[in-house]
Each structure stands twice: as structure tokens, then as C-alpha cells.
Amino acid sequence: MAPPSRNARIIVTVTGSDHSGIVAAVTNLLASVNANIEDISQTIVSELFTMIMIVNIGSANFEDLKSGLDAVGASQGVRITAQHEDIFRYMHRV
């Protein structure tokens, strides 16, 4: 797959058992690569945490960021997925 463009947007989803620090861990990583969260939604249902974000990663390397998110997910005990926006939209079209 071609590398993302300078204004590449990705979709980040986070799911798992709710506990403090999840949002901070994810957003700190994103801030460290100067990514911009353009939209965010989170909810907790029966102690299960879910969050979805649309993130502009600018010139950050997608594969490196994905590896970082995997590491954050492992340390937080949650599942984090990241996909290019175009792929996400294609997979979820009606």
C-alpha cells in the first residue's frame, strides 16, 4: 500500500475493559508524533470501554504509529486498531 499523504487521516478504534489511563495513553502517543484528533467519541457500557477517533497524522509514518498503538494497547490491556480512512470507509460502505 502506498504511504499516506501529508494530510492522511486514519481511524483509530479502542475497545476493552474500562480503567483509568486509556485515553491519556493513546492521546499522548498521538501528540508525540504531532497527530491531530479531528473527531472523537467514547462510551462505556457495562464496564466495557469503546472509543473511535478520526486522526490526521500529517507526515507521521503510519506503520510506526500503528506499532506504537499496538504497544499502547498491550500495555493498557485493550485492543487498538488503526486503518487508513479510505480503507475504513470502503469496508463499511452501505
List, for residues 63-88, the tens digit of each pLDDT value.
999 999 999 999 999 999 999 877 76
Cell 466495557: give the residue. 48
Question: Cα–Cα distance between 58 and 36 in angstroms, integer?
Answer: 8
Evaluate whether residue 1 is within a structural domain: no
The CATH number of residue 62's host domain is: 3.30.70.260
Q: What distance in Å separates the CA atoms of residue 68 and residue 38, rounded to the nearest whole number?
A: 19
Q: What is the pTM of this model?
A: 0.84
> Does the residue 86 lie in any domain?
yes
What 3-state class would DSSP assign to 42? strand
Count up the domains in the chain and report the number: 1
Please count the CA atoms within 13 angstroms of the CA of 71 that sit on its side-chain side.
9
Is 2 part of a structural domain of the chain?
no
Ordered alpha helix ranges (H), the chain: 22-32, 62-76, 85-91
pLDDT tens track for 34-57 = 999 999 999 999 999 999 999 999
Residue numbers of the domain that contains 39: 8-91
- Residue 3 domain-assigned? no
Give domain status of residue 29, yes or no: yes
